[in-house]
């Protein structure tokens, strides 16, 4: 009986066979729907009392209040565009202010350096 040896050595497991011998996984979606009867329909959901359905990659309202939704959507898009333009303007102003600050800081450092050099030069003359 070995002290530090591995007394437990499991056998290697044989390779697995295919999970399914059916060729349905090789078929395209429409054929699978016909073969298996997978007709789900369009996804729908209800949010805040408004029924929505998913069509052509977008959620569309099922209720009859399309005009109110469209007007609200147009108003929100216009407000969003205004806010984006304001945000871009503010970013530009911040960039300009940062440039001005860095320029002023560089000038200040140069002046301090010149002042130190003048002080040293005047001390040497005395």
| Count of domains forming the chain | 2
Q: Phi first, then psi: what are they for 23, rounded to 5°?
A: -100, 15
Residue 103 clears pLDDT 80, i.e. is over it? yes
Point out the domain boundary residue: 32, 47, 62: 62
Query: In terms of domains, do 100 and 121 share one?
Result: yes
Query: In terms of domains, do 50 and 83 share one?
Result: no
Predicted local confidence at residue 10, as pLDDT: 74
Please report whether residue 5 resides in a domain: no
Predicted local confidence at residue 5, as pLDDT: 63
Looking at per-residue pLDDT, the higher value among 46 and 115 belongs to: 115
For residue 105, what pLDDT band results from cuts at 50, 70 and 90? Answer: very high
Predicted local confidence at residue 92, as pLDDT: 97
Please report whether residue 101 resides in a domain: yes
Query: In terms of domains, do 92 and 48 share one?
Result: no
Q: Quick check: pTM over 0.75?
A: no
Quick one: average pLDDT of 68-97?
Answer: 92
Burial class for 52, CB neighbours closer than 10 Å (0-12, 13-18, 19+):
middle
Print the domain residue range for 30: 23-62
């Amino acid at each position: 009986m070995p002290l530090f040896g591995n007394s437990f050595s499991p056998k290697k497991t044989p390779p697995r066979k295919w999970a399914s011998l059916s060729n349905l996984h090789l078929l395209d979606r429409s054929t699978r729907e016909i073969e298996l009867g997978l007709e789900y329909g369009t996804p729908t959901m209800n949010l805040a009392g408004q029924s929505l359905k998913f069509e052509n990659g977008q959620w569309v309202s099922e209720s009859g209040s399309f005009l109110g939704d469209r007007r609200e959507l147009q108003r929100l898009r216009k407000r969003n565009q205004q806010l984006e333009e304001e945000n871009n303007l503010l970013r530009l102003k911040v960039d300009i202010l940062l440039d001005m600050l860095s320029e002023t800081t560089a000038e200040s450092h140069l002046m301090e350096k010149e002042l130190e050099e003048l002080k040293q030069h005047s001390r040497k003359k005395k």
